[in-house]
Amino acid sequence: LVEPQAYKIRIPIPQWVRDEMVKPERVFCQGSKKWKDDYRDSITLGMAPGGIVKVWVGGACLNYKEVGRFQAEVEPLGPHRNGNGIYYRAPNPEAQAYIDQHGIPYGTW
């Protein structure tokens, strides 16, 4: 919400990540309190201001491994690109006051 723009990125998934996703691993699952063979079957994206994208691979009972940190580029067509009524929503007044006072900590992610 702190940036009224859209970003675009293409993230290559390295072979080691693909290998992790098909390799079963014996693990104790805290949720079920049982041992099981589990897979890293999820890829998670974390997005931060400035177009920073971090990627992890993991599973329900397995820890996540960082795939990498990437820099997205600004989408020149902006946040209205798809024409489906999606629009930029400005921060509420309290959040905007905080941003105005403290700025956006670009580069800390």
Residue 72 to residue 44: CA distance in whole angstroms: 16
Contact residues for 37 (Cβ-Cβ < 8 A; gap 6+): 24, 25, 26, 27
Q: Mind listing the pLDDT tens digit for each residue in 26-83? A: 999 998 999 999 999 999 999 988 899 999 999 999 999 999 999 999 988 777 665 6
User: Which carries the bigger pLDDT value, residue 97 or residue 105?
Assistant: 97
* Residue ranges covered by each domain of the chain: 7-102
Estimate to the nearest angstrom the gap between the alpha carbon of 102 and the chain centroid. 24
pTM summary value:
0.78
